[in-house]
A and B are shown apart, each in its own frame.
Chain A
């Protein structure tokens, strides 16, 4: 594992040297600032309104906007999780850098694991920075703290880890462009599968629901977001399905466990595949 940590340090160093961390920080701050400005004006629209209806509308707007912010965070995090490590292996294999690494007295699995650890760390920090910002804005501007933030963020982190793993695994075998097409293709498949499942659940269409479940088994990322969104909204919102972020069919704990198994299996495949890949 010593070499894996050396590789992880190098990857973090690369992210810092190439100003990836700086860009993430600057854009993250800009994102949170825009979220705060948006929140401020939305709340301003309710100023002076009184009564139960206005209070309910305000409550709805605050919850909806917080969930929308978290959805945007989830999307940005998913994109970054695919794009950032997309050529970390395929690029080094194509350029020949991997040859100089693989002839050192280290396991190839340590090269891959080191990169994986570093990208998981960077992207988890990125996600927590953005999500933390959105939650801090909601708490500061509107005095609102969503329920079950811990489990919700953990599920979002797991989604990011799953996408990092997929992106790195693809790079062990595929060219960068092909890998990108595959990763985004699967992400899209999970996204549309998730919506088919939700609409199937709302319309009590078992076949549509099953199609969505199968899509989630193939690529569980959308299921993780659906579950995270379910966790981080008031029970009444979740039960009434009154926002696009209120899943009619809540992914089960078994699906979350499957996402963990899926990620571990993809990582194991990547380690094995890279170990055998001709360089």
Chain B
């Protein structure tokens, strides 16, 4: 059981069979997932997989057609719980006649924060998202990247325990993307749960503890990013590779298959490679090439989605 310094036990987000239909169209079908407190969780899927609809249901923006969901131990839609939830929508829009500072102060008041606290928190966050110089400029004059930054500051304003970030690096330059990564890292250190929705798999890979792949609003695969059980992919070229050598290789790895003169297989980790080389050379074969690569999240994404499509 997870017990955090918030005093609440259990997952930060938990859904069971969550469904959403728009007329006859099924946007989300049986979404069941659990996100631990303090976890950085990524929701991945192709366009139209139901990611945004799922987030909107969790935030109470649209009512589910069925199933159940709890956030911070309380059924979704609870007003008081929303004071502990931050949200950066994919296309962050705002009252563009306000200045950046005014926007934060306005949202702080909506969150019921005391005036002095709002001012201090806004000042801190403006520094954090590197918008101090533009703080008193109207939002209509902000670039897309600056808009994302002020949106991020707004999401973090009320010191939330759960933060939903929908494409948080959209429109940001490399430095801005690094800033977002740092913010997510800080949130994790503070025990804040981050629910990340992003198409930028590299970003997800760099920041998330765990990801779930969704297709047609259903979780089809979950993957822990620090998970070593996936192993590494090995490419090997040697000759001759007789049947007995191949039998020996099968004992050291799995998913053996040949593509021309290259042999592909998966092994538990890089530590298996010396043993593999020893076995091939020991069998009297000449080893021309031996390399190992770890699957990127993109590889996994393509594999999972291809598998789903085929299935």
User: Residues of A with Cβ closer than 8 Å to B?
Assistant: 2-3, 6, 10, 13-14, 17-18, 95-97, 99-107, 276, 278-279
CB closest chain-A residue, reference B154: A100
CB closest chain-A residue, reference B86: A103
CB closest chain-A residue, reference B138: A17
Q: Verify A105–B89 contact, CB threshold 8 A.
A: no
Q: Verify B93–A95 contact, CB threshold 8 A.
A: yes
Choose among A6, A13, A18, A276 the residue that contacts B110 (Cβ–Cβ < 8 A).
Answer: A6
Q: How far is the CA of A39 from the CA of B94 in the complex (A)?
A: 47
Is chain B's interface secondary structure helix, strand, loop, or mixed overall? loop
Q: Verify A105–B61 contact, CB threshold 8 A.
A: no
Q: Verify B110–A101 contact, CB threshold 8 A.
A: yes
Q: How far is the CA of A3 from the CA of B111 in the complex (A)?
A: 9
Contacts A13-B98, A105-B82 aside, 11 further interface pairs with beta carbons under 8 A come to A6-B106, A17-B97, A96-B92, A96-B93, A104-B107, A105-B83, A105-B110, A105-B111, A105-B112, A278-B61, A279-B62
User: Residues of B with Cβ closer than 8 Å to A?
Assistant: 56, 59-63, 79-83, 85, 87, 89, 91-95, 97-98, 106-107, 109-112, 154
Q: Verify B89–A6 contact, CB threshold 8 A.
A: no
B107 / chain A contacts, CB cutoff of 8 Å = 100, 104
Choose among B59, B80, B81, B91 the residue that contacts A96 (Cβ–Cβ < 8 A).
Answer: B91
Also in contact, A2 and B112, with CB within 8 A (given A102-B61, A105-B80, A279-B61): yes
Q: How far is the CA of A102 from the CA of B87 in the complex (A)?
A: 11
A104 / chain B contacts, CB cutoff of 8 Å = 82-83, 107, 110-111
The tally of CB-CB contacts under 8 A between chains A and B is 66
A13 / chain B contacts, CB cutoff of 8 Å = 98
Q: How far is the CA of A201 from the CA of B106 in the complex (A)?
A: 54
Q: How far is the CA of A85 from the CA of B111 in the complex (A)?
A: 25
- Shortest CB-to-CB span from A30 to chain B, Å, is 25
B85 / chain A contacts, CB cutoff of 8 Å = 103
Q: How far is the CA of A13 from the CA of B109 in the complex (A)?
A: 15
- Shortest CB-to-CB span from B8 to chain A, Å, is 17
Q: Verify A14–B93 contact, CB threshold 8 A.
A: no
CB closest chain-A residue, reference B107: A104
Q: Verify B79–A103 contact, CB threshold 8 A.
A: no
The 9 closest A-B pairs by CB, nearest first: A105-B83, A278-B62, A96-B93, A104-B110, A105-B82, A279-B61, A95-B93, A103-B87, A17-B97
Also in contact, A10 and B95, with CB within 8 A (given A96-B89, A106-B110): yes
Also in contact, A6 and B109, with CB within 8 A (given A103-B60, A279-B62): yes
Q: List 18 A-B contacts (CB under 8 A).
A: A6-B106, A18-B97, A97-B94, A99-B61, A99-B93, A100-B94, A100-B107, A101-B110, A104-B107, A104-B110, A105-B83, A105-B110, A105-B111, A106-B79, A106-B110, A107-B79, A278-B56, A278-B62
Q: Verify B97–A103 contact, CB threshold 8 A.
A: no
Q: How far is the CA of A103 from the CA of B164 in the complex (A)?
A: 11
CB closest chain-A residue, reference B102: A13
Q: How far is the CA of A105 from the CA of B91 in the complex (A)?
A: 21
A99 / chain B contacts, CB cutoff of 8 Å = 56, 61, 87, 89, 93
Q: Verify B82–A100 contact, CB threshold 8 A.
A: no
Q: Verify A14–B97 contact, CB threshold 8 A.
A: yes
CB closest chain-B residue, reference A279: B61
B61 / chain A contacts, CB cutoff of 8 Å = 99, 102-103, 278-279
Q: Verify B79–A97 contact, CB threshold 8 A.
A: no
- Shortest CB-to-CB span from A186 to chain B, Å, is 29
- Shortest CB-to-CB span from B110 to chain A, Å, is 4
CB closest chain-B residue, reference A104: B110
Q: How far is the CA of A106 from the CA of B113 in the complex (A)?
A: 13
Q: Verify A97–B59 contact, CB threshold 8 A.
A: no
- Shortest CB-to-CB span from B241 to chain A, Å, is 59
Also in contact, A97 and B106, with CB within 8 A (given A103-B60, A104-B82): no
